Amino acid sequence: MVSFSEIYKLPWNDDEDALLAERFSEGIKITQLAKLHSRTYGDIKVRLVELLQK
């Protein structure tokens, strides 16, 4: 089943970025992060790259 945010992409916000970075640093895999954040694998991967470049 497709979630609301997968159909209507909500912009990333500072809180979600912080949570994503924290979870990733804890070793949570991208596939699990995608489920937790209701985003695609590609969305998570691209966002992590953007966050690491900041």
pLDDT tens-digit map of 31-50: 999 999 999 999 999 999 99
Which residues fall within 8 angstroms of residue 48, CB to CB, at 6 or more apart?
20, 21, 24, 30
What are the strands, taking DSSP E only, across the chain? Answer: none
- Given a cut of 70, is residue 6 above it in pLDDT? no
Instruction: Note the pLDDT tens digit of each residue in 8-37.
Output: 678 999 999 999 999 999 999 999 999 999
Please tell me whether the overall predicted TM-score, pTM, comes out greater than 0.85 for this model.
no
- Tell me, what's the pLDDT at 10? 83
* Lookup result for tokens 């937790």: 36
